[in-house]
Structure 1
Amino acid sequence: MTASILRRFGVDNTEQQSIWYARADAAAEILGVDARERDATNAPPFAELEVLREAGLLPLTVPARFGGAGLDWRTAFEIVQRIARVDNSIGQLLGYHYIFQAFSYIDLPDDRAQLLADETIAKRWLFSSTGTPQGPQAQARRVEGGYVLNGKKPFATGSRVADQIYGRAILPDGSRLAVLINTGWEGVVRHDDWDVLGSRLTATNTIEFNDVFVPDSAVIVNLGASDAEREPHQVLTTPGFQLLFSHCYLAAAEGAVIAARDYTREQARPWFHADVESAAEDPFILNHYGSFVSRLQALSAVVDQATTALQWAWNQGPLLDASERSGVAEQIVAAKVTAHHVALDVTAGIYDVIGARAAGTKYGFDRYWRDVRTHTLHDPVAWKLNELGRYYLNDTAPVPSAYR
C-alpha cells in the first residue's frame, strides 16, 4: 500500500479515488490536531465518529450494485491508513466498520441487501461486531417473529459508538446465527470499560444483551457450527481482518516516523560527540532513519501484495476454491507477521532519533508503540508463524475459523 515515507512513482489514482483520499486527508488533519490529548482522555470517540461521518467516509464499502461506492479493498485500506497514521485508534475503528459493512452482503438475498444498503447510505451508519469468538458467546432462542438474544461479550470493537452491530449468537443446536443488531434496541447495554495501554479510542467495550428481540428481517444467515462448513468465498472475513491489522500496524509505524522526523528537524539535538550543528546531520541519526525508511518501504510492498491477493479472491466470488482461499490467507499471514515485528521495532526505535527530552509525556510519542503493542496481542504471532510454516513445509491448509 502507498507509503507516505517516500513518494510512490508510476501510480495514478482515479478521479474518484482522489476525491476520497482528499476527504480522508481532511478528516486526518482534524483528528491530528489533538490526537495526543484525546488518547490521554480516553473518552468514547463519538466526536471522532462524526468527523468520519461528515467527511462521507462511512458508507464506502456498500456494494456498487446496491447503490454504494463499492470501494475495492486497496482504496478502502488506503483511506484507513491515511486516518490511522495520525490516529491509529480511529483508523482501526473505520477499518473494522468497512469490513463488517461489506461482508454482511455476502449472505443476504438481493432484495434484503438493497433495503440494508438504502438505509445504510441514508443514515450513514457505523458498523461494529460482538467481538472476540473466545469465551462465553451470546445465546439465541427462537420466538415468534424472530429470536431473543442473551449474553455478555468483551472486546467488541466499535460497539460503544456503533449504530449497527454484526452479531453472532449460538442456537440450541450449536449453529451460529448472524444478525444485525440496532444499538438503540431495548436490552442492548454498552459498557464504558475499555481502559488499556493503547488503541484506547477504538471503543472496544463490553456489550451485553438482555432479552434483545431480533426480528427475522434482521437475521442475515445461519452460519452453521463452524466456518469450515462454509464456502471459501464466504470465509474471507478473517483474512480481511488480518490484512486490516497489517495496514494499521504499517500506518502506526509510518505515523511514528513522520512525527519523529518533524521533531528531529525542529527540536532534537545532535549527540555531544558529533561534530555537526544539527541532529539532522548526525550520522547515526541518519543511519536510523535510513533503516526506518527501508524497512517500512519493504513492509509496504508486502502489505500491498497481500492486498492484491485479497482483492483477487474477493473478485472470484463463488468460483474461489479452498486451495486458492488458503493461498490468499497465508499470503496475508506473511504480511501480518512482518507488520507485527517491523511496527513494534520502528515505533519503539524512534526514541533513538528524538532523544531524551522527547520522552516527555507532553509529546505523546509513546502512543504509536502503545497502539501497536496492544493490538498485536489480538492473536499470538507465534501461532501465525506455526500456521505459515505448516502450510509451506507440509502443505497443511488452514481450517477457516475466526483466526484463520
Structure 2
Amino acid sequence: MGDEAPVPATDPAVYDEYQAKWSTLPEDEQGWLARAREVAKVLAQDAVVRDQENKSPVAEVALLKHSGLLKTLGPKKYGGGEQPWNVGYKVIREVAKADGSIGMLLGYHLLWSRTADIVGTGEQRDRLDQLIITNNYFVGGAVNPRDNDLQISADGDNIVFNGAKHFNTGGVISDLTVLEGVLEGTSDHIFAIVHTRQPGIQFAHNWHNIGLRLTESGSVKIENVHASWTDALGWDAVERKPLPSVLQIHWGSLLLPAIQLVFSNFYLGIAIGALEYASKYTTSNTRAWPFGGDVKQSPTEEFYILERYGNFFAHLRAAEALADRAGDNITALFARYGNDHAKLTAEERGEVSEWVASVKVVTIDIGLRVTSGVFEVTGSRATSLKVGLDRFWRDLRTHTLHDPVAYKNRELGRYVLLGEIPQPTWYT
C-alpha cells in the first residue's frame, strides 16, 4: 500500500475556521437543524466545482466533524447530541439540499455509528459510543448484500474477515469501517467495527460514476482483517455463539427500515435542493418566451413556469410530510423498546417498514420528476456545466438504483391487497 500514488483529495485546511466557530453542540432540534443549514450553506458555495473536480472528500468530512453533525445521535455522556432518529433524518435532508454526496455520507455514518444499538450488547454499545463520539470518528461500511458475504474464520480470541465488496460507501475517508460476514461452517452473520487504516483493508479507488461523486463508494478488498471476539456484535465472546436476544429476532429488525429511510431523506433533500437552486436561476437568468402569442415581461409571469414550480412544490411538501411521519414512527419504536429489539413484534416492524416503503416510492417518483423537470422552467442556458443544475438529477438517479423501487411497489401492493407484512431481508 505504501507504493500507491496519492489519491487527489480536497484540503481540510479550507474549513479550519469552522472548528472554533462550532465549538459547542446545539441544544435542541431547532439548533441541530440550524447547524445543518449552516453546513449546507458552506457546502453550497462551491458544490458545482467540487462535484466536477471529483476529489476524495477529506475536507468535507472534516467540515462534518467540525460541525458536530457526526454526533447528532450519540449519547450526551460521551459528548453526543442524543437526538432521536427523526431529528437525524431531518439533519441529513438539510445537508443533502446543498450537496447530495455529503448528505449521503452523513446518513450512512449516522446509521453505521448506531449499529450496536440494534445488533450489539449493552457493553458493546457503550464501548463503541465512547470510541466513536469522544474521537469524533467518521464511520464507513463494507456491507453490500449483493456481493458474496465476507468469510469469517475463528483464530483463537479473534475472528478474521476475508473477501471483497464492489461498494463501500465512505470507506476511503473513514476512521472506522463496519464489516459483516458469515462465520465458516455456519449460517450465522457477524457484524464488527474495525479501524479502517490497516494493511488488510485495500481500496481500489474506482468510484467513477455519474452521480454522488464525492461519496467514495468504490470497491474494497478485505484480507485477513482481525477483530476480537468481544467485538463481534451480539455474540457471546466465551461461547462463540450469538446471544439469545439476537437469535430471537432477525438481524434486520430495525436496521433495514432505518437505513432505507436514510436513503429517502437524502433523496428528498436532493430534490428540494434542486427546486431551490432552479428557482434562484429562474428569477435571475431565465427569459420569458417571446413567440407564444402572449408575451410576458418576466419568466415569473409565464403560466407554464408558475404551474410547474407550484406543482413540484406541492408534491415535495407532501413527500416531506410523509417522510417526517415515517421518521416519527421509527423513533417511537426505538423509544418504546430501547435497545431490547427482541420484544419488537413482526407486525410492528412490518407496519413501520411499509411507512418507510411508502416514503421511498414517493420520494423517488417526485424526486426524479423534479430534478429532470427543472430544466423545463430554467431554459437551455441552464444546461451549462458552469450552472451545475445537472448534479441533482445525477445524484438522485445514481442512488435510486440501489434496490429496485418496483419491489417496494409490489411489497406495498401485497400489504394493501393481502394484508401481508414484508419479511425481513437485506432490503426491507
For normalisation by structure 1, the TM-score amounts to 0.92
Describe how 1:5-404 pairs up with structure 2 within 5 A.
Answer: 15-64=27-76, 68-172=80-184, 173-222=186-235, 230-231=248-249, 235-272=253-290, 273=292, 274-317=294-337, 318=340, 319-404=343-428
Give yes or no for contact 2:200–2:224 (8 Å, CA) kept in 1.
Answer: yes
Partners of 1:392 and 1:119 lie apart in 2 by: 44
Give yes or no for contact 1:28–1:86 (8 Å, CA) kept in 2.
Answer: yes
Counterparts in 2 of 1:325 and 1:253: CA distance versus 1, 3 Å? same
Shift of 1:399: 0.9
Give yes or no for contact 1:191–1:205 (8 Å, CA) kept in 2.
Answer: yes
Partners of 2:79 and 2:118 lie apart in 1 by: 16
Which of 321-330 and 241-250 deviates more? 241-250
Q: Deviations over 1:266-316 (max 9, x none)?
A: 110011134221111111111111111111111111111111111122222
**SS at structure 1 position matched to 2:193:** strand
Shift of 1:30: 1.5
**SS at structure 2 position matched to 1:288:** helix
**SS at structure 2 position matched to 1:177:** strand
Partners of 1:236 and 1:98 lie apart in 2 by: 14
Give yes or no for contact 1:59–1:125 (8 Å, CA) kept in 2.
Answer: no
Which of 309-318 and 139-148 deviates more? 309-318
Q: CA RMSD in A?
A: 2.0
- Between the two proteins, the alignment pairs up a number of residues equal to 389
Shift of 1:19: 2.5
Shift of 1:61: 1.6
Q: Unpaired runs of 5+ in structure 1?
A: 1-13
Match of 2:22 in 1: none
Shift of 1:66: 6.1
Partners of 1:340 and 1:17 lie apart in 2 by: 26
Partners of 1:109 and 1:254 lie apart in 2 by: 38
Give yes or no for contact 1:233–1:325 (8 Å, CA) kept in 2.
Answer: no
Partners of 1:315 and 1:262 lie apart in 2 by: 41
**SS at structure 2 position matched to 1:49:** helix
Partners of 1:176 and 1:260 lie apart in 2 by: 46
Counterparts in 2 of 1:134 and 1:199: CA distance versus 1, 3 Å? same
Q: Deviations over 1:311-364 (max 9, x none)?
A: 122222244211011011011101110111100001100011100111111111
Partners of 1:78 and 1:50 lie apart in 2 by: 21
Give yes or no for contact 1:108–1:221 (8 Å, CA) kept in 2.
Answer: yes
**SS at structure 1 position matched to 2:234:** strand
Partners of 1:105 and 1:182 lie apart in 2 by: 19
Quote the sequence identity (%).
Answer: 32
Shift of 1:232: 6.6
Shift of 1:218: 2.5
